Amino acid sequence: MQTDIEFKTQDGTTLRGWHYVPTQSKERFPTIVMAHGFSAVKEMYLDQYAEAFARAGFASLVYDHRNLGASDGTPRQEVDPLQQVRDYRDAITFTESLSQTDPARIGVFGSSYSGGHVLVVSAVDRRVKCVVSQVPLVTGYSNVRRLVRADLLAGMQAMFDQDRRARYLGEPPAMMPVVSEDLSGPAVMPMADAWEWFTETHKLRAPSWKNEVTLRSVEMLAEYEPGAQIAFISPTPLLMIVALRDNCAVADEALVAYERALQPKKLVTLAGGHFDPYVGDFAAASGAACDWFKQHLTPA
């Protein structure tokens, strides 16, 4: 059963999404809190993950990050990773208040950018009893330098600096496309598979997604290091799902970060690329997540 929900963060911003429960009974369920990746909205296949979790006996709270999709917040299309982490924790607090939630059995699921967020959330928030991090971005600094040619880095930094000066004077934020059909053109994710997945998913199921973010979102991405906290997650059980051909949140960085995590942990690898867990590898990815949550959020 799916119902629309909204809740306020501690700074008063309203975030909106869906609440899924397996049945209409008055039972309290283990509940998964989840949001999407960089610029993405909940309609981009998170509903299918929530439905898979419901079939496995879990409730879930799925919401759009602030400034995106159905949620409030300004500036629109700004992706602030540290604020998104704080909002994840407010989403957990809201989830605890729902009558269908067993507050002693809360898990978090994140994919791509949010795959990094849940590493931070589970490292600092012990209300989280189980975490699944799928195709995660673990290092913004290194990842950006894998996607941007070395001779263009100085120019990119100059753009960040100029945007900061302009915003200080009250001018609107500079914007950048998330993806581009011209792979040599400006884009946060200058890859063919990213262009195909975002544009096709936008047309098929996510009309609220917009192909732009503020330039400052890219600057904050380059400064974000969620993998630095991965060793602090233990003793919370961690499942990491890595796509071995991932050239967006590059696979080798995720694998290196996984080695720094402490037990209990598990690694599941998929043969495809960054976007395959939403479509071609969905059964394998969602099945692994369900199994991990069952192992650690349901009574023996």
Whether residue 84 is contained in a domain is answered as yes
Phi, psi of 289 (to 5 degrees): -65, -45
Using omega within 30 degrees of 0 as the cis cutoff, is the peptide bond preceding 75 cis?
yes
Number of structural domains found in the chain: 1
Instruction: Indicate whether 149 belongs to any domain.
Output: no
Residue at 48 is within a domain: yes
Q: Which residues pair with 4 in a beta bridge?
A: 18
Query: How confident is the model over 52-63, as pLDDT tens digits?
Result: 999 999 999 999
Residue 197 lies inside a defined structural domain of this protein: no
Q: Is residue 234 part of a domain?
A: yes
pTM, to two decimals: 0.97
Q: Domain range spanning residue 279?
A: 2-143+225-297
- Give the model confidence (pLDDT) of 103-141 as tens digits: 999 999 999 999 999 999 999 999 999 999 999 999 999
Distance CA 22, CA 77 (A): 33
What amino acid is encoded at 215 in this protein? L
CATH number of the domain within which 257 lies:
3.40.50.1820
- Among 105, 91, 83, smallest CA distance to 27 is for 105
The verdict on residue 214 lying in a domain is no
User: In this predicted model, what pLDDT tens digit does every residue of 154-165 receive, in sequence order?
Assistant: 999 999 999 999
- What pLDDT does 24 receive? 73
Determine, yes or no, domain membership for 155: no
Domain-located, residue 206: no
Q: What is the pLDDT of residue 164?
A: 97
> What are the structure tokens assigned to 272, written together?
């495809």
Instruction: Determine how β-strand 265-270 pairs with β-strand 238-243.
Output: parallel
Phi-psi region of 73 (alpha: psi -120 to 50; beta: other; left: phi over 0): left
